[in-house]
Every structure is written in structure tokens, then in C-alpha cells.
């Protein structure tokens, strides 16, 4: 073999040796902050003046980051959370990685690459990419991008440490997977705790009894208790993130991903923050308990952002840091979501601007001086963060691992779908900070039902939450009106539950609008989508409809399977009552495990037998059919009443709690559901 033939191997060896001895040099620290379900007008910078609506949105720390950074005025995410999060981590358009918001328990054993929830096993995550440049990588908060195997967890995607939860949501106090958190009842009957740790020495459920306790549960009702209770989930996440910064060697590049649970339901918040927002809006008063909670949660979230920035400055890292902050989708208009996207139309679950155009910015001390205080009006996809982070550190925007998996699929499993390539643009970060006004995305698909070819946007199909809200939303008029906005994504196991069997009633409560032949808007001159141009500009409509048809042909929709009862049995019998990976786990869990009481052990034995019966497809289907019949008649009413309450002179008219059914407007169940005594 010639010396020239050996050259690639020498270069490869140098590359991998270099990984272990990289110093920061000019590589920036990257801090990414992802907010959950944050409404467009629940951002102080999107409100003006001293009206009540403006006073209710108190975000001084994020406002400051925006003023010293770049406002990504047309940042687009997917209309729901898991696809957006999978997109950010993988660099794929949401439709090319995970367009379905399935639960974490699904598995299709016949597809070893994509037969799971979240990101397919053989796609490379952004943390995994950055580690090749010597980055230390840490994550805190909500994952929602896969759990079935160790390869699907944050550590499996390249994070050195993870402290957080796997599902769409959990309870902020006791960290259980309650129905008011996710809107669903899974095959495990929501019995387990969703709080998990991964690091160099431990992998498993969080064992700190103080962090799992609901001892501070009353602090959402009694302002005098504790201002920032230690068992509040966001307090714990904040503490873990600040510890990462404090313990980090500033000479080594850091990639820190802080993924808030806030402002997702359940609307749990310490009562001291309710008092704070009451004082902030004086002399005005809230008339909606849920809107008050949402406002307090936004304020809490903003304070955490401020503490993260302060910690970076105290550590001497801020001047070398790029901060990326964004929301995973628009704010939910259904109750008890309680967000507001005014003046944009629609909300979460819809392709209207209020559902997909999200708050986003780039800031930090490493940002070029000329970029600070600017606005970028070009289209940015949530997938583009993958490319921008690669650009920042000099990495190619590619994924050799998925290419190798495709070679294997072609040779051995041609019956399975291949993995789409990375969609994230290369060079976008430079365009943004240099003030380049040319739109980098000639065409940007939003989903299988919507697409932008700027300045035009096409929306098709039946869209939920097709409405505009006022400055103060929700309010008593919303609650007392005939069409209280319902949630449209309730599920029992993998079956969808309709809140009404009357299609007309259901459409009314979901605020549905049909764009059968396609609705067309010029979102530059009509950003609030009030003037449908479909009839006036049929040629443009046809062009965009054709582009959307082309995109639909590229959808990545593998068969991800059904909920696997073995996940529940593993959580109950092996993992101490925590949600976590259950496939390919030999050698993964380190222990120790949470010890179960005799009562819990007896429950587990009976539960295993029950699951084996319940998980039979025919039994599952029969349970679903019965539930679908009784759900609208007996359960929707109590649920609807629990979502929100009118307040008179700043005081809730009633307790907002239906003790018979165990729900409350602020999302605290009267009875815990996690596997406890």
C-alpha cells in the first residue's frame, strides 16, 4: 500500500486523537433555551404600551436578550411539540423525522431503525456532532424525542448528562404522567414517575426523595409558604443547569440545552408568582384563573433565563457564548392551555401563523457587535439550528451515520423506509448576523398541509383553532360562551378520543375551518391571514399546491408500531416505577433502584398480570370503544369545568376543583396517579 493510500487513515487517526485534547480556542459556548407552548403575544416585546394585556406579559430578561441580539422575526416550528424537538436535534424538517406526536411507549419490532417514537435510531443528534469538536454537552428538561432504547435518550444522542423527563409533559410537583399533563391515558395507565438522570456514573430514575416529593404541592395555593419551592420541577431544572455552568471548565467549549417544561400544561406555578403578577398588573385584575397562571409561569420562565445569563457572566463565559432561544410551537388556544397569539391567527395544532410562527432570537456576548439589536426577516426553520450550530464550529451539515444506515436498509431491508437527509441550511448563521436580507429558504414546507413560498403561504385541509383572539384571552366570555375551545389530541393507548360524537358540535368547539381547495395568503402584507387570495390569484395557488404535493411525497411516516406493554412491566418490575428505556437495556441501568414497599410489590405482581390481559389488541379495542361511548357523556363536562374559572375582583369564584373527578384549573390533581403508597 502506498503512502498516499494511507493518508485517509492517518487523517482519521489525527481527528479522533484531537477530540480528546481539544481546548476551546475560538469555539463559542452555545446555550440553547427551548420554551414550550409559548404564545406569540405572551412575549413582552410583542406587546406595546401599558395596557392590561401588555402588563400581563413580563419578560424583561428575554427582552434584554432580544435588544442585544437578533430577532428572528419569521422563525417557523412545527404545530406540535415532539416533531419540533426531533427536528431541532436532528436537522431534519419535522415531516422528515417525526411528524406524528405518538406516545413514548410505541414500538414496531419489525423495524429496527425507525420503529419507535421520536428520532430514528440511526440519525445523528446535534450534541453528537458537537462532541466531535471537543464540546462538553449537557441537557436539562423536556426531551420528547424518543425513549425506547438507550440510543434514543439524550445520552444516546450525544449529551454527557441529562436531567429531565421523556414525555410530552408531567406534573410539575410529583412528576407523574397525569392525564392533565399529557391529555392522554397510556397503556401504563399513567402510573409511573417521569423524571430521569443520565451521566457518567448513573443512569435511571431520579432517587432524591425531595425532588420527587409533592410536599410543596400546596405552594400553588398558599402564597405564604415558599417563594420558589425546591420540589417545583422548574426550580430543580434551573438548579441543575446552574450547576452545569458553575462546574464547567470555561476553557472547554460547552453546549448546554435547557428545555423548559414551561409554559406547557398543567398550569402549575408557585403561588408567590401569582401574587407577583397580580401586583404587576395593578390597577387591573385577572378575570381568568388559567390566564393568571399562564402569566405567572411566563414570568417564572423569564426569571430563570435571567439567572442562566447571570451565571454565565459570573463564570466569565458570557462574552464567549452564543445564546439561542426559541419556542417549539405557537401557544395553545384550547383550555386549559391559556396562551395568546394575537394578532396572529390560530394556535398550536394548526398551520396558521399563530400555530407555527414562534418567538425566537440569537443573542450572547459572542454575537458580532453589528448584529446586535437587529431584526432578521428571512424564513428560519427550527431544523436550521442544527446547521447554524455546525456552521459556528466549522462542521459539515451532514449525517454520515444515517447514510450508512440507508446502505444497510437498501441491502438488507428494502421494504423499510430510508432515512431522509439533513434539511438544515448551511451558511444561514452568517447570513443572519451579517444583515443579509436575501431569503435563504425559497420554499419552506410547514407540514403536509401548509407551505410558504415567500411572501405567499398555502394552507389546506381542515384546520383547528382557526380564530383570532383579543388582547385578553382566555377570559370569562370564553369560559361562559357556547363554544369553549376543547383540546383535540386526547388519546387512550394509541386510540384517539373524540370529545363529542356529534361532528358539528366537535367542529364548533375545535374552531375548525376548512381549506378544501387551499387557502392562500400574502403573509408579508397580511401577516394575520385575514384575506384569502385563492380566488384572486389562482395561478399562485396552483403553483404552491404543486409544491406542497411534491413535499407530501417526501413525508417520512414509518410504521412506529403500537404501545408495548413490556415498557410498563419494565417500569414496574425493574426500573423502580420510572418511565425509561426498556429495549436493548442490558448493561444500561446502573442502579441503585427505588425500593418498593410490600404493598407496592404486591401491586406490581397484580399489575403485570393485568397488563398482559389489557395489552391484547382485542381487549384494548373493546376498552377504547367503551371509553369513547362514555367519555363525551360523563367525563368531558367535569374536565371542561376544571380547565379554568372566572375570577371576580381578582378572586376565584370557586375552588376550581372537582373533587369527585380529581381535576383542578391549575392542573393539580386531587389524587396523585404515580406509583406511590
pLDDT score recorded for residue 91: 98
The share of the chain scoring above pLDDT 70, in percent, equals 90
Asked whether residue 87 carries a pLDDT value surpassing 50, the answer given is: yes
The 8 Å CB, 24+ separation contacts for 546-553 are: 547/443, 547/451, 547/453, 548/445, 548/448, 548/449, 548/450, 548/451, 548/458, 548/460, 551/95, 551/445, 551/448, 551/451, 552/448
Q: Residue 172: name the closest of 220, 222, 116, 104 by CA.
A: 220
Q: Residue 666's pLDDT is what?
A: 44
Q: What is the pLDDT of residues 26-53, one digit of tens each?
A: 899 999 999 999 999 999 999 988 899 9
0.75 surpassed by pTM: yes
**Of 58-67, 107-116, 393-402, 660-669, the least confident:** 660-669
Least confident segment among 5-14, 503-512, 523-532: 5-14
Cis peptide leading into residue 263 (ω within 30°): yes
Residue 673 has pLDDT above 70, yes or no: no
Q: Are 455 and 417 in contact (CB under 8 A)?
A: no
pLDDT attached to residue 21: 34
What pLDDT was estimated at residue 600? Answer: 74
| Whether the Cβ atoms of residue 253 and residue 136 lie closer than 8 Å to each other | yes
Report pLDDT for 636. Answer: 85
Whether the per-residue pLDDT at 661 is higher than 60: the answer is: no
**For residue 100, what pLDDT is reported?**
86
pLDDT at 225: 60
Q: For residue 1, what pLDDT is reported? A: 40
pLDDT digits (tens, 9 = 90+) for 452-468: 999 999 999 999 999 99
Buried b (16+ CB within 10 A) or exposed e, 655-668: ebbbeebbbbbbbb
Mean pLDDT, the chain, integer = 90
Residues 6+ apart with CB under 8 A from 309: 61, 65, 318, 323
> Could you tell me the CA-to-CA distances from 469 to 261, 289, 472 in Å, in that order?
24, 17, 8
Distance in angstroms (rounded) separating the CA atoms of residues 628 and 631: 5
Q: Are 491 and 117 in contact (CB under 8 A)?
A: no
Tell me the residue ranges of DSSP E strands in 143-242: 161-165, 184-185, 196-198, 203-205
Res. 9 pLDDT band, cuts 50 70 90: very low
Task: State pLDDT tens for residues 565-616.
Answer: 999 999 988 888 999 999 999 999 999 998 877 777 787 888 888 888 888 8
Mean pLDDT of 630-643: 84
Neighbour tally for 258: CB within 10 Å: 25
Query: What's the pLDDT band for 24 if we cut at 50, 70, 90?
Result: low
The average pLDDT across 280-295 equals 96
Higher pLDDT pick, 215 / 656? 215
Amino acid at each position: 500500500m502506498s503512502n498516499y493510500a494511507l493518508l485517509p487513515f492517518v487523517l482519521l487517526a489525527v481527528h479522533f486523537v484531537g477530540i480528546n485534547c481539544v481546548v476551546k480556542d475560538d469555539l463559542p459556548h452555545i446555550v440553547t433555551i427551548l420554551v414550550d407552548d409559548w404564545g406569540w403575544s405572551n412575549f413582552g416585546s410583542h406587546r406595546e404600551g401599558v395596557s392590561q394585556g401588555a402588563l400581563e406579559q413580563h419578560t424583561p430578561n428575554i427582552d434584554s436578550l432580544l435588544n442585544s441580539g437578533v430577532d428572528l422575526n419569521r422563525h417557523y416550528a412545527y404545530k406540535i411539540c415532539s416533531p419540533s424537538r426531533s427536528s431541532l436535534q436532528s436537522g431534519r424538517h419535522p415531516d422528515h423525522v417525526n411528524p406524528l406526536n405518538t406516545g413514548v411507549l410505541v414500538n414496531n419490532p419489525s423495524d429496527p431503525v425507525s420503529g419507535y417514537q421520536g428520532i430514528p435510531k440511526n440519525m445523528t443528534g446535534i450534541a453528537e456532532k458537537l462532541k466531535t469538536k471537543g464540546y462538553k454537552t449537557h441537557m436539562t428538561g423536556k426531551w420528547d424525542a424518543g425513549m425506547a432504547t438507550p440510543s434514543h435518550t439524550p445520552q444516546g444522542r450525544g449529551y454527557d448528562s441529562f436531567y429531565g423527563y421523556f414525555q410530552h409533559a408531567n406534573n410539575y410537583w410529583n412528576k407523574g404522567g397525569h392525564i392533565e399533563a399529557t391529555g392522554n391515558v397510556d397503556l401504563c395507565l399513567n402510573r409511573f414517575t417521569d423524571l430521569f438522570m443520565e451521566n457518567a456514573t448513573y443512569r435511571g430514575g431520579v432517587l432524591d426523595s425531595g425532588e420527587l416529593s409533592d410536599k410543596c404541592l400546596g405552594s400553588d395555593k398558599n402564597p405564604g409558604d415558599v417563594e420558589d419551592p425546591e420540589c417545583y420541577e422548574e426550580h430543580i431544572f434551573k438548579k441543575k443547569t446552574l450547576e452545569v455552568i458553575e462546574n464547567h471548565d470555561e476553557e472547554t467549549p460547552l453546549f448546554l440545552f435547557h428545555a423548559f417544561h414551561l409554559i406547557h400544561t398543567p398550569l402549575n406555578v408557585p403561588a408567590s408568582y401569582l401574587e407577583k403578577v397580580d401586583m404587576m398588573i395593578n390597577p387591573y385584575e385577572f378575570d381568568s384563573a388559567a390566564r393568571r397562571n399562564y402569566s405567572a409561569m411566563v414570568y417564572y420562565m423569564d426569571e430563570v433565563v435571567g439567572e442562566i445569563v447571570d451565571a454565565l457572566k459570573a463564570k466569565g463565559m458570557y462574552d464567549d457564548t452564543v445564546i439561542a432561544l426559541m419556542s417549539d410551537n405557537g401557544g395553545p388556544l384550547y383550555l386549559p392551555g391559556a396562551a395568546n397569539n394575537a394578532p396572529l391567527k390560530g394556535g398550536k395544532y394548526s398551520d396558521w401563523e399563530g400555530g407555527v410562527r414562534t418567538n425566537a432570537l440569537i443573542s450572547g456576548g459572542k454575537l458580532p457587535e453589528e448584529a446586535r439589536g437587529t431584526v432578521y426577516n428571512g424564513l428560519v426553520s427550527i431544523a436550521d439550528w442544527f446547521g447554524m450550530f455546525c456552521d459556528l464550529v466549522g462542521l459539515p451539515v451532514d449525517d454520515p451515520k444515517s447514510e450508512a444506515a440507508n446502505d444497510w436498509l437498501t441491502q438488507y431491508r428494502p421494504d423499510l423506509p430510508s432515512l431522509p437527509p439533513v434539511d438544515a441550511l448551511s451558511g444561514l448563521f452568517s447570513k443572519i448576523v451579517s444583515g443579509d436580507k436575501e431569503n435563504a429558504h425559497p420554499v419552506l414546507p410547514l407540514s403536509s398541509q401548509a407551505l410558504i413560498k415567500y411572501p405567499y403561504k398555502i394552507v389546506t385541509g381542515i384546520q383547528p383553532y382557526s380564530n383570532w383572539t383579543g388582547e385578553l384571552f382566555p377570559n370569562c366570555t370564553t369560559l361562559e360562551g357556547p363554544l369553549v375551545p376543547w383540546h383535540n389530541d386526547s388519546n387512550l393507548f394509541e386510540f384517539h378520543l373524540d370529545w363529542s360524537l356529534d361532528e358539528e358540535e366537535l367542529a364548533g368547539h375545535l374552531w375548525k375551518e376548512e381549506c378544501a381547495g387551499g387557502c392562500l395568503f400574502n403573509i408579508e402584507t397580511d401577516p394575520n391571514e385575514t384575506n384569502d387570495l385563492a380566488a384572486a390569484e389562482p395561478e399562485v395557488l396552483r403553483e404552491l399546491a404543486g409544491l406542497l404535493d411534491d413535499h407530501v411525497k417526501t413525508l417520512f411516516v414509518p410504521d412506529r408500531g403500537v404501545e408495548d406493554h413490556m415498557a410498563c412491566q419494565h417500569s414496574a418490575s425493574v426500573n423502580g416505577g420510572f418511565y425509561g428505556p426498556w429495549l436493548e437495556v442490558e448493561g444500561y441501568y446502573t442502579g441503585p433502584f427505588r425500593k418498593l414497599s410490600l404493598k407496592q410489590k404486591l401491586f406490581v405482581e397484580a399489575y403485570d398480570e393485568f397488563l398482559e390481559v389489557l395489552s391484547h389488541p382485542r381487549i384494548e379495542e373493546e376498552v377504547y370503544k367503551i371509553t369513547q361511548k362514555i367519555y363525551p357523556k360523563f367525563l368531558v363536562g367535569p374536565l371542561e369545568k376544571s380547565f379554568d374559572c372566572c375570577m371576580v375582583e381578582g378572586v376565584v369564584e370557586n375552588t376550581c376543583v372537582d373533587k369527585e373527578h380529581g381535576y383542578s384549573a391549575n392542573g393539580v390533581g386531587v389524587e396523585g396517579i404515580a406509583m406511590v403508597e
